[in-house]
Amino acid sequence: MRFLDFDYSEDPQGGGTFDTMASVRSDQVAAVRAEMAQVLDWAHAAFPGLQAPLEEGGEWDFDLQEQQDGTASPWHTLTLAVSGSPQFCAAFRQRFGMF
């Protein structure tokens, strides 16, 4: 990953959230989106059909936000939060080299 660097937080039950944010110029937005898509594609493939809020029985879920910093600004901020069960978080850390 060139643009994404995840922070991890864990709840008392062992589930966790991986958060990342990238603030980039307009010409880099597509590359950040591609990295985020790579993460979400992996999650869908590794845990197929299991995306739903954890409190509703899902194994994993995500929140993706994007905004331009002002109407004339060339800067864009993209954030991705991926939450999951202990099994999902262990697989995520292994897949994306977070030990």
Please state whether the predicted TM-score (pTM) of the whole model is above 0.85. Answer: yes
What is the CA angle 73-76-80, rounded to 5? 160
Residue-range domain boundaries for the chain: 7-95
The two tokens of residue 3 are 């643009």
Instruction: Provide the mean pLDDT of the chain.
Output: 94
Q: What pLDDT, on a 0 to 100 scale, did the predictor assign at position 99?
A: 66
pLDDT in tens, 66-90: 998 877 888 999 999 999 999 999 9
What is the residue whose two structure tokens read 């029985």?
Answer: 57
- Fold classified for 7-95: Alpha-Beta Plaits (3.30.70)
